[in-house]
Structure 1
Amino acid sequence: MKKIMIKAALVLGTLAMLTGCSGKKEAAPTSAAEAGKTTESAQATEAGKTADGEDTFTVGFDQDFPPMGFKADNGEYTGFDLDLAKEVAKRLGKKFVAQPIAWDAKDMELQSGNIDCIWNGFTITGREDGYTWSKPYMKNSQVFVVGKDSGIKTLSDLSGKVVEVQADSSAEKAIKEDDALLKTFKTLQTTPDYNTAFMDLEMGAVDAVAMDVIVAAYQIEQRKADFVILEESLSAEEYGVGFKKGNEALRDQVQEQLEAMAADGTCKKISEQWFGKDVTTVGK
């Protein structure tokens, strides 16, 4: 009898645990997007909805990459790319969500559906097959930033110097593809973000920082620092919006709105607010 009572208690305990667990689960998904299906409609809303059921457009970005995307002094996320993305979301009737990410974890964030796209000075060159891309919307190049009085004038002057880049950046990729140049450096080291890189350069911990020319020029202007950009560049490239491979549905929606924004002057207006001129190439 005692054994029977013990077995019954165990069964009841197990049922209680199962009931408790099932009570924490959400209701069964009611749409293809929620169910994780791979239809075009599901892909277009992959990152989900708000608690009120509003469609979201979640943009992954590096919050230490001004002027493309960064945290302002008031704590708000802002930037040229984020302003473009916010306008696109508005025109699509979606709630804009700026989602800061670790740059070296961007692929995981995209694949998991935590973000809808990567939009943050994201270089197409060398990544053509890894994502579904928008058309290029801006030209860029990879350059070296050095101290004004460093004596470094050309790429050959970087011989024996310590150079720093952001981890998993286009600058790092460009340098590693130029083996002859790389071998001249004393050291090539990485850092999580360019704010740290500029502080390292200011303190003399590194001799040069390799980075996007648009970001370099903005950083130098904002910091009022005695830095210069070398005339010789590493590589020429273009920026685009990167979506999960195969997500043509959302890509097409975003591309349509970008082209409409270029046609009605919105891209030009946003660009002039950040750069004092139109640097966009949509529809040109």
Structure 2
Amino acid sequence: MLMGTAAVAAMSGSMLAGCSGGGDNGGSGDAAASGDASSQTDPSTLTTFIVGFDQSYPPYGFVGDDGEFTGFDLDLAAEVCSRNGWTLQLEAIEWDAKDTLLNSGAITCIWNGFTMEGREDGYTFSEPYMLNEQVVVVKADSGIASLDDLAGKTVITQVDSAAFDVLEGDKADLKATFANLETIGEYNTAFMQLESGAVEAVACDLSIAQYQMSAKPDVYTQLDEALSSEHYAVGFKQGDTELADTVTQTLKDMVADGTVEELCDKYAEYGLTYDNWILA
């Protein structure tokens, strides 16, 4: 189902996509919080399930070698839609616009490595399905071995991301030791800057770190100490509880019949592991 809908999404997504922000999570959900809390989408009458995602966020959502949208979360969404009789539509969105798009009905949900911690009042969430951490990646030969070693260094992260939120919040004291905290629109470019030596560390989701390190194991290494631990969930407009519950139950059914583990294995080469799946 995913490949069939990706062609449609490629056309419709081009209308929404700009400089894609971190599928890695971003924003406090303040814009979403202004939505209608009584809003309800009836799963039994829903026909098209529109997933808003960051197309530069492997392995959860990205453009494959064939030019089609692919990724672990997009495959999960495709299977959920198939089991509920919905047509999947993929919309590659500008991350900063996610709340406006969700509240306007342009997308049904945000499903792309979306951190729920700190956003609970801004969205109606599915139950969390994946464990994640915010971590720091450096070059393997940098001599940086701990968070303390980042003092006086230039660190980069994605704008409006969970890593940025952590460094502005709970880890503000750590950030104060940096020479500079830079932000960028997407992580692929951040890691290019790290490899070139333009910056000395990247703060990002564990999944992004695993993906980049699996592609270049001799170039990058991850610091042992995490910045924070968190969970991924599917974010809906406030009030869409029944739809969120339907998605959660379908995911649980997919766990029970082995589908989720198969999808995790499919993306193992990107560093994704079933060990981090928490929904049962």
TM-score, normalising length from structure 1? 0.80
For 2:77 and 2:242, locate their aligned partners in 1 and report how far apart those are by CA, in whole Å. 16
- Please name the residue that 2:109 is paired with: 117
C-alpha deviation, 1:134, in angstroms? 0.6
**8 Å Cα contact 2:53-2:93 kept in structure 1:** yes
For 1:223 and 1:183, locate their aligned partners in 2 and report how far apart those are by CA, in whole Å. 30
TM-score, normalising length from structure 2? 0.81
For 2:83 and 2:175, locate their aligned partners in 1 and report how far apart those are by CA, in whole Å. 45
For 2:44 and 2:63, locate their aligned partners in 1 and report how far apart those are by CA, in whole Å. 27
Bigger share in helix: 1
- Please name the residue that 1:128 is paired with: 120
Give 1:94-243 correspondences, 5 Å limit: 94-177=86-169, 178-224=171-217, 226-243=219-236
Aligned length: 239
SS of 2:131's equivalent in the other structure is strand
C-alpha deviation, 1:39, in angstroms? 6.1
**Cα distance change on mapping 1:167 and 1:244 into 2, 3 Å:** same
Determine if the alignment matches structure 1 residue 84 to structure 2 residue 84: no
For 2:216 and 2:88, locate their aligned partners in 1 and report how far apart those are by CA, in whole Å. 30
**8 Å Cα contact 2:124-2:236 kept in structure 1:** yes
For 2:101 and 2:185, locate their aligned partners in 1 and report how far apart those are by CA, in whole Å. 17
**8 Å Cα contact 1:164-1:206 kept in structure 2:** yes
C-alpha deviation, 1:102, in angstroms? 1.4
Deviations 1:207-264 (A, max 9, x none): 1000011121112212455010100110011110000111112112211211111111
- Please name the residue that 1:49 is paired with: none
- Please name the residue that 2:40 is paired with: 40
Given candidates 257, 262, 269, the residue that maps to 1:269 is 262
SS of 1:218's equivalent in the other structure is helix
Q: Please identify, of 100-109 and 139-148, the stretch whose mean Cα deviation from structure 2 is larger.
A: 100-109
Determine if the alignment matches structure 1 residue 281 to structure 2 residue 273: no
For 1:131 and 1:121, locate their aligned partners in 2 and report how far apart those are by CA, in whole Å. 15
For 1:233 and 1:181, locate their aligned partners in 2 and report how far apart those are by CA, in whole Å. 12
Give 1:9-28 correspondences, 5 Å limit: none
**Cα distance change on mapping 1:275 and 1:45 into 2, 3 Å:** farther
**Cα distance change on mapping 1:77 and 1:223 into 2, 3 Å:** farther
Any stretches of 5+ residues in structure 1 without a counterpart? 1-35, 47-54
Deviations 1:4-40 (A, max 9, x none): xxxxxxxxxxxxxxxxxxxxxxxxxxxxxxxx9x663
**8 Å Cα contact 1:44-1:247 kept in structure 2:** no
**8 Å Cα contact 2:41-2:240 kept in structure 1:** no
Q: Higher Cα Rg: structure 1 or 2?
A: 1
Any stretches of 5+ residues in structure 2 without a counterpart? 1-35
**Cα distance change on mapping 1:64 and 1:223 into 2, 3 Å:** farther
For 1:82 and 1:208, locate their aligned partners in 2 and report how far apart those are by CA, in whole Å. 29
- Please name the residue that 1:6 is paired with: none
For 2:101 and 2:224, locate their aligned partners in 1 and report how far apart those are by CA, in whole Å. 36
**Equivalent residue letter for 2:166:** A
RCO higher in 1 or 2 (8 Å CA, sep ≥ 6)?
2
